[in-house]
Each structure stands twice: as C-alpha cells, then as structure tokens.
Amino acid sequence: MPEVKSKKFKEVGGAKKYLPWKEWEKDDFVEGEFVGTSEDNYGKTNYHIKLSDFQLPEDKGFEVGDTIGLNANGSLDYKMESVKTGQHVRITYEGKIKLPADHKFAGKDSHQCKVEVAEEDGSKASDLDRVL
C-alpha cells in the first residue's frame, strides 16, 4: 500500500457577514477581493467582498479576511456592472440622496456608494463612480 502523506487544509467558503446600509456612516468603506454574488430572498443581488481593509462600526465584529455581503442598491448595482470577479475593489458609502422627480422612484431615499477598482499594478484605484 502506498504511503499517504498528511496534507494541511485551510477552511474556505466561511460564513458571510452582513451589515444593513442603515447602519453605515458616511465614508465607511470596505476594501478587498470581489469574490462573487448571490441572490437574496427577494431576488436581488448581494455582492461579496473578502475584506483586506475596512472602516465599519467596531462593535459589529468584522475582521480582515471576513467576507461581507453587500445588499443591492441602485447605485451599487449600476457601478458593479464594470467589476469582474477577482478584482480588488474599494466601496465607500456616501450616504443617502432623495431621488429626483424624473426618477422611477422619485422622492425616495437612495443609498449611494462610490466604487473603485485597483489598477493592475495595485498602485492606485480607478474611480468608477457614476451618477445615477
């Protein structure tokens, strides 16, 4: 019988953590690898970021290496169309705005996010921020 060498394993696909947008403060951010998406119970997209850096409320227990799930919002959905799985991103919360009269959801509050993607050499991020 051949000798079986012991292998080392590390856990992958750990539980995703979540923070509702209403608990974010202006200029809070997450940075890390965009690892994919999933669909929530309402058919909306959730974006998963493996954290390498962040500024979030300390009492929420986030750590570097955690994967955070970000709920869809109009601003984030639109900007994430340009991001590919595996890219290093920074998503910064910019607060809420009232949607203009000509918008489908006129008068409603809308969470706004700035999305940046690291350039190939990793020296700086390219701003993908777009106005709805």
- Kindly state whether residue 6 falls inside one of the protein's structural domains: no
Domains held by the chain: number: 1
Residue 85 resides in a domain? yes
* 43 inside domain: yes
Residue 92 lies inside a defined structural domain of this protein: yes
Spatial distance between the Cα atoms of 103 and 112, rounded to a whole number of angstroms = 15
The reply to whether 27 falls in a domain is yes
Mean pLDDT of the chain: 85
* Prediction pTM value: 0.78
Residue-range definition of the domain harbouring residue 94? 17-127
3-state secondary structure of 8: coil
Window from 67-71, 105-109, 114-118 with minimum mean pLDDT: 105-109
Q: What is the mean pLDDT of residues 90-106?
A: 90
pLDDT band of 121, cuts 50, 70, 90: low
Does 64 or 15 have the greater pLDDT score? Answer: 64
**83 in a structural domain:** yes
d(CA 125, CA 71) in angstroms, rounded, equals: 22
Q: Checking DSSP bridges between strand 16-18 and strand 45-55, what pairing results, if any?
A: unpaired
**Residue 52: partners with Cβ closer than 8 Å, 6 or more residues away:** 31, 32, 33, 64, 88
Question: What's the N-to-C CA distance of the chain in angstroms?
Answer: 65
Domain presence at residue 8: no
Task: Decide if 21 is inside a domain.
Answer: yes
Q: What is the pLDDT of residue 12?
A: 58
pLDDT level of residue 107 (50, 70, 90 thresholds): confident
